Amino acid sequence: MSDTTQSGPVLAADGTPLKRSLHRALRIQKLRALMLIAPLLAFVLLTFIVPIGQMLFRSVENDIVANTLPKTVIALQDWDAASGQAPDEAVFAALAADLYVASNEKTHTRVGSRLNYETPGISSLFRKAGRKAKKWDVENDGPFKEQFIKIDDGWADPDVWRTIQTYSPKYTNGYFLNAADMQKGADGAEIRPESERIYITLFKRTLIMSLIITGACIVLAYPVAWILANLPSAKANLLMILVLLPFWTSLLVRTSAWKVMLQQQGVINDTLVWLGLVADDARLVMINNQLGTIIAMTHILLPFMILPMYSVMQTINPSYLRAAKSMGATNWTAFWRVYFPLSVPGIGAGSILVFILAIGYYITPELVGGTKGVFISNRIAFHISTSLNWGLAAALGTILLAVVLILYWAYDKIVGIDNVKLG
Amino acid sequence: MKAKLTAFAVTTALVAPAAIAEEMTIVSWGGAYSKSQQLAYHEPYTAKTGITIINDDSSAEAVAKIRAMNEAGNVTWDVVDVVASDAMRLCDEGLAEELDHDAVLAAAPDGTPASEDFGDLIVSDCFVPQIVYSTTFGYRTDMVGDTPPTSVCDIFDLEKYPGKRSLQKRPIDNMEWALYCDGVAKEDIYDVLGTPEGVERGLAKLDTIKDSVVWWTAGAETPQLLADGEVVMGSTFNGRLFSAIAEQNQPIGMLWDMQSFDLDGWIIPAGLSEERKQRALDYLYFATDTQRLADQAKYISYGPARKSSAPLVGKHASLGIDMAPHMPTDPANAGNVHIYDYEWWADNRDDLDAKFQAWLAK
Amino acid sequence: MAALTPISRKPLSLVIPCIAGAGGLLGLFVGTANGSGLLGIVIGAALVSLMGLFFIFVLKNETTAKWISILFVAGLGFLFGGVPGVILGAIFGWLFHWFIYWTYEGRYRARLLPYLTPGQVLWHYTFLFICGAIFVFLITPILVVMPLSFNAQDFFTFTPEMLRLDPEGYSLKHYRDFFTNNEWQRSFKNSLIIAPIATIISVSLGTLAAIGLSQSHVPGRRAIMAILISPMIVPLIISATGMFFFYSQIGNWLEGTLGFNKTFVGYVKVVLAHAVLGIPFVIITVTATLVGFDRSLTRAAANMGANPVTTFFRVQMPLILPGVISGGLFAFITSFDEVVVVLFVGSASQKTLPWQMFTGLREQISPTILAVATILVVISIGLLTVVEMLRRRSERLRGMSPS
C-alpha cells in the first residue's frame, strides 16, 4: 500500500471521498440508534423524570409563608430575633391584615401546619387567631398586639416569630437540615438535641442492612446458580421452577408467611421446641428486629440475585475447569482462579439489583422489622402519608437518591454498567 | 294489570339510565367496617336514589391522596371516611369542606338540632362524626392465670403478666397511658406531656417494657398476635376485639379501662363541583340520621355518634346478641375513659413523633 | 453426563457408622423431645444399624425391606406422635431404607466420575445438601402458606385441630370467598388486564431502545442509561406521589379534551405507571444479551438483501429472545405484584390484586389472601410445566436429544 502514492482523497465505490462517506455512514448509524432510543427516552422522561423532579423540588420549595403572609414577612425583616422580645405593633398589624385575607380564603391553617413542623404549637396559634381575624376590621380594630396575645399568649413568644422570620424566604434548606438531624437555630444551623436525632441513624442502618442482605443473597445464590448452570437443562428447568415460584408469590404473602414462621409461637420455634432443641420458655426471637428484616428480605430478593448469576454462569464453558484440573490445579484453585473470575459480572449485576431494590424497600421492613429493623423509606412513607410533611419526605428521598446515584456511578467506574447481565 | 306493568317497565326503562348513570365514590377503610357501611348506608341509599356507590378502600392513605388530588385539581372522591385527627389535619390544610352542621344534617327525631345531638363530638368544622370507637386492650384469657388484668397499668406490670404486649407504633395514646400509670392525674396528663420533662417521663415509663413490646401499625395485627398467643395483651380498636371474641370464638378478654375514646366520621373533600357537593351532602344527610347510625351498630361494635341513636341500638345481625353492652359508649364500659385531646395533638404530633421515633430507634 | 461408573458393595465398616449416624440424628430429636437426647441417640443408632444388618444379611430383598422399614418407623412414630407421627415416621422409614441401600450398594458413586477421591465425593454430596437447604429456604414460605389457606379460622395460625390433622380444622371457605366475592374477582381481573398490557409496552419500547443503545456510537450513552433505569432506583413511595400529579393531569386532559371514558382513563394511568416501572428490567436484560450478540450476523443478513425490519425479526429477535422473555417476566411481576404506586395512581375501579391483598392484610387478617396465593402458585406451576413439556416435545420433534 505504501508505494501507491496518490494525490487526493481515497474514494468510495460511488465516487465520494471515503472519509465523507464513512462520516455519513456513522451519522446515519448514530441517528438510527437515537431514533430507536428516542421513543423510550421520551416516554421515561415525560412519565417519570419530570414528575419525580417536581416531587423532589418540594425539598427546597417554601413559598407558602411569603405568599400567605406577604405583609408580615416584609414587616418582620427589621425585627431582630436576638432581642428576645416579640416584635412591635407594626408587625402585629401586618399579621392581622394578612390573616384577615388568609382566613377568608381558608389558607391560614395551611401556613400554621407548615410552620408547626418547625416549632410545635404554631398550628393552633394560627387556627385560633384565624377564627377571630376573619371578623376583624383591619383598619380600625387595632392595636392588635394585645388582642393576639389575648387569643393565645404564644404570640408573645419570640421563638414563634423567629420561626416565621426564618422560613420567610421562598426557598429553604430547612428540610435538608431536618433530614440531616439538624435545625435552624437562632444562630444558623445547629445539631438537634439527641432525643430527636433519628435520620442519620436510619440512613446508616439502611445502608448497612442493605449491604448485609446483598451479602447474604450472594452467598445463598452462588451455589444455586452454579447447580442450575451445571445440571442438564431438563433438571435445571425443574429446579428453576423452585426459584421462580417465590417470585410469583405476592410480596405481601411471602412477608406474612415469614411472620407465621419466625414469630415466637411460629412454625420454626414450635418445631425447635417440639424437637427439644430450645426450651419452651426460651424461644428464639427472630422477628420484629433486624434479623427478621434480613431473613425476609433476603428471601424476597434472592431470585434477583440467582437469575443474573445463572445467566452468566451458563456462558462459562465447563471445559475451562477441566482444563485447569488436568493441568494440576486443585479443585479450589481451579474454581478460585478460573471459574470465579468469569462469574464476577453475574455477581455484580445481581448485587447492584438487590442492593438498589433493598435500599428503597418499605413494606417488608414495616411488617417484620419491629423498631430496629425499619429503613429510611419507612420514614419517607410516614411523612408522605401520615404527617403530610412532603418537603421533608422529598429531602430524605433526594438524599437517598443521591446515595444510590453515587453508588451507581462507582459501580459503573469499577465494573462497568455494560457488564451487567440479568437474564 | 298487564298494561300497567308494561307501562311501568317502559317508564323505568326510560328513566333508569339517567338515574343509573349517576355514581359517587365513597372512601372507607375496607374489611368488616366497609361492609357494615355498605349494609347500613350504601344499599338503602342506592335503593332510595338510584345513585351507584363505588367503594374505595383508601382511607389509610386518604390524607395524602386528598392533598395530591387537590393540588392536581382532580378530586375524584365524593365522601371520605377518616379518623377525627385526620379530619382536623385536612381541615387545617384547607383540603376538606367546612360545614354548617345544623344546616346540612338531619335533626334528631325529637327535633334536637344536629350540633346538639352530636354534641362535642364535632371536633372540627369539616367533620361529621359517625362512630365512637376506643383503642383498648385485649388479653389472652388462658395466659393471665386467675387474675385477669383490670387496670390499664397492668400493661406495665411485667411481673404479674410476663410476656409480650402489642402497642401501636405511635406516641398517641401510649404516652398518655405511660404518664397515667406513672402517677399523673388524668386531668394533668396533657399539661405534663407538654413539657420536655413530661415527655422524658413518659418515655422512661415506656422504657420499662420496651423489650417486651411488639409494635403494630395495622389494626388487624393485635387480634392476630393474640390468636397466635404471641402476645399476652395488646391494644387495638374495640371492634376488632369484639369480632375476634364473639365471631371467631378466640380465648380473648377485653379490658375496659382508660381506653382512648376516638372518633371516625365523614368529610367532603374541598374542590368538588357544586353539583357533586350537593350530592355528597345529600348522602351525608341520609347516612348520618339517627336511625342509620343505630343500624350500623348491628354489624360492628362501634358506638353511634348521635346521642339519640344510642337507645335504638339493637342486636347483632347474624349472632343475635345484644350489641349495646359491647359499645364503647355503654356506661358499664365507659367507667374510666381517656379523652383524647385533638387540639393538643394537632400541635404537638410532629414534634412528639420525632422524639418517639428517636426513642424507638435507640 | 459422565461415563457410568461401576458400583461395588461397600464394607460394613463404612456402612454401619453411616446409617447409625442417620439413626442417631433422628434419635436425638425424638429423644430430646421425650426427655433424654443421649438415650435417643443410642437407641436410634442401634435400631437403624440393626435394621441395616437385618436387610443386608437376612432379608436380601429390597422391596420387602422398603415396606418393613416404612411400617416399622411409622409404628414408632405413632407411639411418639400420633397421626402426624405416622406420616413423619413413614417418610423417615423410606429414607432409612433408601440410605441403607444407597451406602451399602455404593450407589452414591454411580453418577460421579470414577477417579474422584472419597474427599471429593463427600464434598459433592455436602454441596448438594447445601443447595438443597437453600432451595428449602426458598420454598418453605410457600409450603407454609398452602396448608394455612385451608384454615377453618380467620387467622394465620396453625390451630391445634390442624396439627392433629383433624378435618374440623380445615375448610375451603377462603377459596369460596375468593371465587364468590366480587371485590376479589374484580381485582383479579384488573391485574390480568393491567399487567400484560404494561408488560407489552415496556418490552416493546425497552427492546427497541436496548438495540439502539447497543450500537457502537451512541452519544451520551451513560446518561441515557441512567435515566432509563432510574424508575428502579427512586424509592417507590416518592415515585408514587410524584407520578400521581402527572397522571392526574394526563387524566384530566384525556377526559376533558379528548372525551374518553373515566374508567378507561383510569386503566391508562395505571398501565402507563406500571410500564415505566418495568422498563429498567427490560433494558438491563436485553442490553446484557446484546453484549454477546455477534454483529456480523446482521451485516451478513443486510448483505444478502434483507431490509432492517426483516433482519430484526428473522435474525436478531430469535437470538435475543431469551433476554427479552426474562426482561418481560421481571416487568410482568413488577406490575402484578406492585402495591405502592397503584394505591396512589389507581382509583377504586382499577383496584388490583395486590391492593386488595394489602387492605385484606391491614383491615382484617383474612386467609383469603393465602388462598389466592395458593391458586396463583398452582396456576404458575401448571404453566411452567406446560412450557417445559412443550419445549421437550419440540426438541424431540426436531430430532434433538434433550440436552
Asked if residue A389 and residue A245 are part of one domain, the reply reads: yes
**In this model, does residue B332 exceed pLDDT 60?**
yes
**Strand B233-237 relative to strand B337-339, pairing:** unpaired
Average pLDDT, stretch B261-285?
Answer: 94
Report the pLDDT value the prediction gives residue C248, as an integer from 0 to 100.
84
Between A208 and C397, where is the model more confident?
A208
| Residue C389 at interface with chain A, using a CB cutoff of 8 Å | no
Q: Which domains does chain B have, with CATH numbers?
A: 19-131+264-326 (3.40.190.10), 133-262+335-361 (3.40.190.10)
Q: What is the pLDDT of residues A264-278, one digit of tens each?
A: 989 999 888 887 788
The C-alpha atoms of residue A359 and residue C233 are separated, in whole angstroms, by 9
**In this model, does residue C13 exceed pLDDT 90?**
no
Q: Which residues of B, range 55-84, sit inside 8 Å of C by Cβ?
A: 55-58, 60-61, 64-65, 68-69, 71-74, 76
> To probe the interface with B, which of C238, C347, C356 has the most B CB atoms within 10 Å?
C347
**In this model, does residue C196 exceed pLDDT 60?**
yes
| Residue B139 at interface with chain C, using a CB cutoff of 8 Å | no
The C-alpha atoms of residue A165 and residue A74 are separated, in whole angstroms, by 9
| Spatial CA neighbour of C99 closest among C124, C73, C127, C66 | C66
Percent above pLDDT 90 for chain C: 20
Q: What is the pLDDT of residues A365-418, one digit of tens each?
A: 988 888 888 899 999 988 988 888 999 999 999 998 888 888 878 877 776 665
User: Under a CB-based contact definition with an 8 Å cutoff, are residues A59 and A395 in contact?
Assistant: yes
Report the pLDDT value the prediction gives residue B9, as an integer from 0 to 100.
45
The C-alpha atoms of residue B106 and residue A307 are separated, in whole angstroms, by 63
**In this model, does residue B114 exceed pLDDT 80?**
yes
Q: Residues near B183 by Cβ (< 8 Å), separated by ≥ 6?
A: none
Report the pLDDT value the prediction gives residue A6, as an integer from 0 to 100.
56
In angstroms, the separation between the Cα of residue A51 and the nearest Cα of chain C is: 5
Report the pLDDT value the prediction gives residue B83, as an integer from 0 to 100.
93
Asked if residue A219 and residue A337 are part of one domain, the reply reads: yes
Q: What is the pLDDT of residues C339-370, one digit of tens each?
A: 889 988 888 888 999 999 888 888 777 889 89
Please answer yes or no on whether C208 and A36 come within 8 Å at the CB atom: yes
Asked if residue A350 and residue A292 are part of one domain, the reply reads: yes
In angstroms, the separation between the Cα of residue A213 and the nearest Cα of chain B is: 20
Q: Subunits touching A (CB < 8 Å, at least 3 pairs)?
A: B, C
Q: Which amino acid is at A106?
A: K
Judging contacts by C-beta atoms under 8 Å, the chain C residues touching residue A247 are 333
Average pLDDT, stretch A36-40?
Answer: 91
CATH code, A285: 1.10.3720.10
Q: Which of B34, B61, B218 is opposite residue C361, by nearest beta carbon?
A: B218
* Mean pLDDT, chain C, whole residue set: 85
Q: Which domains does chain C have, with CATH numbers?
A: 12-115 (no CATH), 119-180+368-403 (no CATH), 183-366 (1.10.3720.10)
The C-alpha atoms of residue C6 and residue A420 are separated, in whole angstroms, by 44
Asked if residue A86 and residue A45 are part of one domain, the reply reads: no
Average pLDDT, stretch B233-238?
Answer: 94
Query: Is A184 a domain residue?
Result: no
Asked if residue A40 and residue A88 are part of one domain, the reply reads: no
**In this model, does residue A251 exceed pLDDT 70?**
yes
Between A255 and C399, where is the model more confident?
A255
Report the pLDDT value the prediction gives residue A7, as an integer from 0 to 100.
62
Q: Which of B93, B228, B358 is opposite residue A109, by nearest beta carbon?
A: B93
Report the pLDDT value the prediction gives residue B12, as an integer from 0 to 100.
42
- Listed as own residue / partner, the contacts of C268-271 with beta carbons closer than 8 Å and 24 or more positions apart are C269/C345, C269/C346, C269/C350, C270/C194, C270/C198, C270/C342, C270/C345, C270/C346, C270/C350, C270/C352, C271/C194, C271/C197, C271/C198, C271/C201
Report the pLDDT value the prediction gives residue A372, as an integer from 0 to 100.
87
Average pLDDT, stretch C372-395?
Answer: 83
Query: Is A39 a domain residue?
Result: yes
Report the pLDDT value the prediction gives residue A19, as an integer from 0 to 100.
86
Q: Which residues of B, range 95-124, sit inside 8 Å of C by Cβ?
A: none
**In this model, does residue B1 exceed pLDDT 50?**
no
Cell numbers at residue A58, please?
Answer: 418540594
- Torsion from C-alpha of B277, B278, B284, B290, nearest 10 degrees: 160
- Region of B237 please: left (phi>0), alpha (psi -120 to 50) or beta: beta
* Mean pLDDT, chain A, whole residue set: 87
User: Under a CB-based contact definition with an 8 Å cutoff, are residues B24 and B284 in contact?
Assistant: no
Judging contacts by C-beta atoms under 8 Å, the chain B residues touching residue A124 are 343, 346-347
Query: Is A6 a domain residue?
Result: no
Q: Find out whether the peptide bond into A143 is cis, omega within 30 degrees of 0.
A: yes
Q: Which residues of C, range 144-203, sit inside 8 Å of B by Cβ?
A: 153-157
Asked if residue A81 and residue A230 are part of one domain, the reply reads: no
Asked if residue A41 and residue A77 are part of one domain, the reply reads: no
Q: What is the pLDDT of residues C93-147, one digit of tens each?
A: 898 888 888 888 888 887 787 878 888 888 989 999 999 999 999 999 999 999 9
User: Under a CB-based contact definition with an 8 Å cutoff, are residues C169 and C161 in contact?
Assistant: yes
H or E segment at A130? Answer: helix A122-133
Query: Is A369 a domain residue?
Result: yes
Asked if residue A358 and residue A214 are part of one domain, the reply reads: yes
Beta strand extents in A146-268 (DSSP E only): 182-185, 188-191
Average pLDDT, stretch A33-42?
Answer: 91
| Spatial CA neighbour of B301 closest among B60, B42, B36, B40 | B36
User: Distance between alpha carbon B296 and the CA centroid of its chain, in Å?
Assistant: 13
Average pLDDT, stretch C156-167?
Answer: 86
**In this model, does residue B150 exceed pLDDT 80?**
yes
**In this model, does residue A423 exceed pLDDT 50?**
no
Query: Is A3 a domain residue?
Result: no
| Residue C347 at interface with chain B, using a CB cutoff of 8 Å | yes
Q: Which of A107, A205, A379 is opposite residue B94, by nearest beta carbon?
A: A107
Q: Which of C134, C285, C373 is opposite residue A253, by nearest beta carbon?
A: C373
The C-alpha atoms of residue A357 and residue A423 are separated, in whole angstroms, by 17
**In this model, does residue C402 exceed pLDDT 70?**
no
Asked if residue A129 and residue A34 are part of one domain, the reply reads: no
Q: What is the pLDDT of residues A203-237, one digit of tens each?
A: 999 999 999 999 999 999 999 999 998 888 778 88
Most confident of A351-355, B251-255, C300-304: B251-255
Q: Which amino acid is at A120?
A: P
Report the pLDDT value the prediction gives residue A5, as an integer from 0 to 100.
52
Q: Alpha helices, DSSP H only, in chain B? A: 2-20, 31-37, 43-49, 62-72, 84-92, 101-104, 114-118, 174-181, 189-193, 196-207, 221-228, 238-242, 274-287, 290-296, 342-361
**In this model, does residue B57 exceed pLDDT 80?**
yes
Please answer yes or no on whether B31 and C363 come within 8 Å at the CB atom: yes
Please answer yes or no on whether B218 and C252 come within 8 Å at the CB atom: no
The C-alpha atoms of residue C62 and residue C56 are separated, in whole angstroms, by 9
User: Under a CB-based contact definition with an 8 Å cutoff, are residues B51 and B286 in contact?
Assistant: no
Report the pLDDT value the prediction gives residue A420, as an integer from 0 to 100.
56
Report the pLDDT value the prediction gives residue C232, as an integer from 0 to 100.
84
Identify any residues that bridge with B267 across adjacent strands, giving them in sequence order.
B80
Report the pLDDT value the prediction gives residue A82, as an integer from 0 to 100.
84
C-alpha separations of C228 from C213, C268, C317 in Å? 11, 21, 21
User: Under a CB-based contact definition with an 8 Å cutoff, are residues A254 and A300 in contact?
Assistant: yes
Q: DSSP characters for B230-268?
A: S-SEEEEEHHHHHIIIIIT--SEEEEEEEEEEEEEEEE-
C255 → chain B, closest CA residue: B74
- What is the band of C302 on the pLDDT scale with cuts at 50, 70, 90? confident
Q: Which of A107, A116, A288 is opposite residue B350, by nearest beta carbon?
A: A116
Please answer yes or no on whether A420 and C284 come within 8 Å at the CB atom: yes
Judging contacts by C-beta atoms under 8 Å, the chain A residues touching residue B354 are 196, 198
Asked if residue A397 and residue A250 are part of one domain, the reply reads: yes
| A276-296 CB burial, b ≥16 within 10 A, e <16 | bebeeeebebbbbbbbbbbbb
C323 → chain A, closest CA residue: A423
C152 → chain B, closest CA residue: B248
Asked if residue A76 and residue A219 are part of one domain, the reply reads: no
Asked if residue A325 and residue A212 are part of one domain, the reply reads: yes
The C-alpha atoms of residue B330 and residue B338 are separated, in whole angstroms, by 14
The C-alpha atoms of residue B283 and residue A420 are separated, in whole angstroms, by 57
Q: What is the pLDDT of residues C213-228, one digit of tens each?
A: 887 778 888 788 888 9
Report the pLDDT value the prediction gives residue C362, as an integer from 0 to 100.
82
Three-state DSSP class for A31?
Answer: helix
Identify any residues that bridge with B52 across adjacent strands, giving them in sequence order.
B23
Judging contacts by C-beta atoms under 8 Å, the chain A residues touching residue B361 are 198, 201-202, 205, 371-372
Q: Which residues of C, range 44-103, sit inside 8 Å of A by Cβ?
A: none
Q: What is the pLDDT of residues C24-51, one digit of tens each?
A: 888 888 887 777 778 888 988 998 888 8
Among A158-172, B183-197, B210-224, C307-321, the least confident range:
C307-321
Tally of residues, chain B = 362
**In this model, does residue B18 exceed pLDDT 50?**
no
User: Under a CB-based contact definition with an 8 Å cutoff, are residues B288 and B106 in contact?
Assistant: yes
Most confident of A179-183, A213-217, A358-362: A213-217
Please answer yes or no on whether B93 and A113 come within 8 Å at the CB atom: yes
Please give the backbone phi and psi of residue C113, each rounded to the nearest 5 degrees, phi first.
-65, 140
Cell numbers at residue C123, please?
Answer: 464434598
- Count of domains for chain A: 3
Please answer yes or no on whether A401 and C205 come within 8 Å at the CB atom: no
* Mean pLDDT, chain B, whole residue set: 89
Enclosing domain of residue A304: 199-419
Most confident of A19-33, A80-94, B164-178, C37-51: B164-178
The C-alpha atoms of residue A360 and residue C402 are separated, in whole angstroms, by 42
B-C Cβ pairs (cutoff 8 Å, strict): 85
| Spatial CA neighbour of C95 closest among C40, C124, C52 | C52
Q: Which amino acid is at C346?
A: G
In angstroms, the separation between the Cα of residue B251 and the nearest Cα of chain C is: 13
Judging contacts by C-beta atoms under 8 Å, the chain B residues touching residue C237 are none
Report the pLDDT value the prediction gives residue B231, as an integer from 0 to 100.
94
Q: What is the pLDDT of residues C69-104, one digit of tens each?
A: 889 888 988 888 778 888 888 998 898 888 888 888
Q: Which amino acid is at A206?
A: T
Q: Subunits touching C (CB < 8 Å, at least 3 pairs)?
A: A, B
User: Under a CB-based contact definition with an 8 Å cutoff, are residues A244 and C380 in contact?
Assistant: yes
